[in-house]
Structure 1
C-alpha cells in the first residue's frame, strides 16, 4: 500500500518593514494589496495542500494580520528577525511535510512554476532535501518567480543547528550551502531569463509591476510566459528597473528581511 503523501504547505513570508520600500507588501496593484496578489496567484498551484502567510509579532505587522483575516488567508505570527524560526514554527503548526518558501514581494509568482518545482521535489527518487529554481550557481527564471521546496526534516535540522544570523534570516542557506549533507537540486528552465527583475524592492520595481497588471486589465490569471511576451514586445519595461541593485547570495544586508 502506497503511503499517503505528506502535506505540501506554501509559506509566504511578509512584513511591513523594508529598508528600501517600507510597507511594500500593502502597496496597491490594480486595486489590491501586493500581498493579496501574491497569495491569490500562488494559491492556484495544484500541488499545494495549503498556503500560509508568515508575518511577525511586531505591532507594525498588525496590518498584515488584519489583511489575512479579512481575506480568509491562514496566517502565522512569529519572530521578526529570525525568519528561519518563523518558518519552522509555522510549518509545525500547519503539519507541513514539505515547505514551499515564497515571499510577499513577488506579485508575478506563477502557479505553474510552483507546480513544476514541487513536482521535481515530490517525484525524485532518492528524495531531495531541497529543490529550488534559484541557487548560487545560477537561475534561469526571472527574479520574482523564486520558488524553494524543502522537506520538513531538512528545515528542522537547519532550525536546530544553525547559529549564523545570515542563515537564520534567509531561511534555507544552511541547507543549500552544505551539499555534503543535503541533496539539493537546481531546477532550470529551457531558456535563460534570469536577468529580468519581476520582484519589488524599490519604487522602480513597483512601477514595472503596476504596468504589467494594467496591461492585463487588473486580472491576475495571466501566466509568466504571457508576461515574458509582454517584455519582448515592450523592452522599455525591463529598462525601468534595470538600475535597481539585486542582492544575491550572501550579499543581502541586515534590515532587508521580508
Structure 2
C-alpha cells in the first residue's frame, strides 16, 4: 500500500499573511514543517494553489526536493484529489503546513493503525476527540475514498475542508478511529501558526528552547514548566468549520 503525506499550503492566509514563509531559527516555518514530516520516511507532497502568490511556496519546496501539486485555491478537496491521482496513492495522510512542530512519531502511529486494517472505509485521526496540542493534527484515509468524495461532494464546506465528506459519514458506511494521546488531554496547548501571537510562541520555542529537535512530549513539558509561554496564545480561538 502506497501511503503519502499531503500538506496544504498557501500564502494568502488571512489572520497572518504568508505565515508559512515567515522564519524562525534561520528557517521558514514551512521548512521546519517539511523537515519534521520527512522523518516519517513517507513521501511528502505540498498541495498549493495556482495563485501566483504561491510561487514562493513552489520554489521553496523545489529547493527542498519536495514535489508540489497545484490546484484550486477554494476547492481544496479537488486539490487533494489531484495530488492523490498524480502520485497514485492508495492512502493519504492530510496535514496542514501551519504545524511547524508536528511530531513525525505521532503521525507514524496513526499510519501504523491505518495499515493494520487497510480498510477502504477507515478514517483515522488524532483529533476526532482532541487530546494532542493543536499543531499535531493528522487525518488518514483511503485514496479511492477521497477521489469518490471529490466526485460526489456538493456542499461548499466539503469542497473547502477536504475530509468532512468522510468524517461526517455522508456515505453512511465510514468507520472513524480516534487516536488519543496516552498522556491524557493536553489539547489546551497551541503549537500551530495562525496568528501573530502563535508566531511569538513558536519563535520562542524554536529559538530559545531548540524545539525543532524536540518531540511532542518534550514540547508539552516545556509549556508546563513555563506557563508564560502558554499565556502568549492561550486566548486564541480556533476558526470553526465554515469560517
Same fold, judged at TM 0.5 (above)? yes
Determine the structure 2 residue equivalent to 1:256.
Answer: none
Counterpart among 116, 135, 138 of residue 144 in structure 1: 135
1:132 to 121, 125, 134: 125
The question of 1:16 aligning with 2:16 is answered no
Contact 2:120 2:142 in 1 (8 A): no
Runs of at least 4 residues of structure 1 off by over 3 A? Answer: 125-128
SS at match of 2:92: strand
2:239 matched to which residue of 1? 247
Q: Which residue of 2 aligns with 1:161?
A: 152
| RMSD (Å), alpha carbons | 1.4
1:125 deviation in Å? 7.0
Summarize the Cα distance change of 1:232–1:97 in structure 2 as closer, same or farther, 3 Å threshold.
same
Q: How many residues align?
A: 241
> Which residue is equivalent to 2:92?
99
> CA–CA distance in 2 between the matches of 1:247 and 1:39?
24
TM-score (norm 1): 0.90
Change (3 A) 1:11 1:241: same
Residues 128 and 221 of structure 1, relative CA distance in 2, 3 Å threshold: farther
1:27 to 22, 25, 34: 22
Please point out which of 108, 111, 116 is paired with 2:109.
116
- Name the SS of the counterpart of 1:134 in structure 2: coil
Contact 2:49 2:72 in 1 (8 A): yes
Per-residue CA shift, 1:124-148, capped at 9, x if unaligned? Answer: 376652101112xx21111110010
User: Residue 39 of structure 2 corresponds to which residue in structure 1?
Assistant: 44
Q: Which has the higher helix share?
A: 2
Can you give the 5+ residue segments of structure 2 that lack an aligned partner in the other structure? none
More relative contact order, 1 or 2 (CA 8 Å, 6+ apart): 1
Q: Which runs of 5+ in 1 are unaligned?
A: 1-5, 254-258
- Say if 2:188 and 2:234, in contact at 8 Å, map to a contact too: no
The C-alpha deviation readout for 1:132-179, integer Å capped at 9, x for no partner, is 1112xx211111100100001210121111011111111000001017
- Distance of 1:208 and 1:28 partners within structure 2: 13
TM-score calculated relative to the size of structure 2: 0.95
Given that residues 65 and 75 in structure 1 are in contact (C-alpha distance below 8 angstroms), is that contact kept between their aligned partners in structure 2?
Answer: yes
The whole-number CA distance in structure 2 between the counterparts of 1:216 and 1:97 is 38
Structure 1 residue 232, shift from structure 2 partner:
1.2
1:233 is aligned to 225
